[in-house]
Structure 1
């Protein structure tokens, strides 16, 4: 995915605001799944504004300001599906079942 495509997907007004080429390094794209994955992921990331992020969150510990975001997380399952299709081609996302899956999801 090009830098421009990334900004269009994550921050649609980023192209107009001249944010292209503001990336500072490589990225690591991931797909998380499971019970409350979006809610849990966003909790781990912290608030968008690092000053409002709790210590121990990624943004709370590593982000400097809103304009220099260190991570992105989808805000809904629907947007997550759209973003997955932007970052990954068909067949690139592999299904995986952890050893503790049955213990975590037992009823």
Structure 2
């Protein structure tokens, strides 16, 4: 109902704008009337409201990835087959736990080709895309996780390290354990939008736990 009335308002504003502009003499066409400007402004504003209403990510700051910039912010982290095969799962989990972040979901699975392709869809034009999908679905499982806490997306990427292990900071997961960019052990969401997409892709909302670790206030409080 809202969208129908909004469309009608846009059409009315557009007609008013067109009439206003059509009555301007040719020599004054470069200076539209105030009424035309108001009508055009109303049309633009109305259309912007309509577009925002169609996108819950723009309309609401809280998604399945929590609320950006708060202690409820969440990130998707995946230990890849090489990390699992090298038995580094416990060490990687410890990095996030020791920093103070909360594990709200974890599971081990071998991704289907469809899941892997969707997860890496932003890389589909890259020459290594098919090889990456084949590797992730090769049979050795991955460990998919959701971590929660203040600034966990940005800080999680720091814990993980640069995509190319040769450029990763010493002490990061990749800086300590990886050598080749093709076997860089782990994936972590790089933005709130990608965290929202990836968490929703790998987990149902019912799989995400809602609890408070005993030390949570000592880690996340701002005083």
Runs of 4+ aligned residues of structure 1 deviating over 3 Å after TM superposition are 14-17
Q: Does 1:79 align with 2:191?
A: no
Q: Which runs of 5+ in 1 are unaligned?
A: none
TM score, norm. by length of structure 2: 0.44
Which residue does the alignment assign to 1:98? 213
Which residue does the alignment assign to 1:45? 160
Shift, 1:4, TM fit: 3.8
Task: Select 2:134's aligned residue among 21, 29, 32.
Answer: 21
| Aligned-residue CA RMSD (Å) | 2.1
Shift, 1:15, TM fit: 8.7
- Cα distance in 1 for residues equivalent to 2:220 and 2:183: 37
SS at match of 1:75: coil
Q: Does 1:3 align with 2:113?
A: yes
Higher strand share: 2
The higher relative CO (CA closer than 8 Å, separation ≥ 6) is in: 2
- Cα distance in 2 for residues equivalent to 1:80 and 1:10: 13
Q: Which runs of 5+ in 2 are unaligned?
A: 1-110
- Cα distance in 1 for residues equivalent to 2:125 and 2:187: 14
CA contact (8 A) 2:164 2:181 kept: yes
Larger radius of gyration: 2
CA contact (8 A) 1:7 1:14 kept: no
Shift, 1:3, TM fit: 3.5
TM score, norm. by length of structure 1: 0.85
Shift, 1:14, TM fit: 7.2
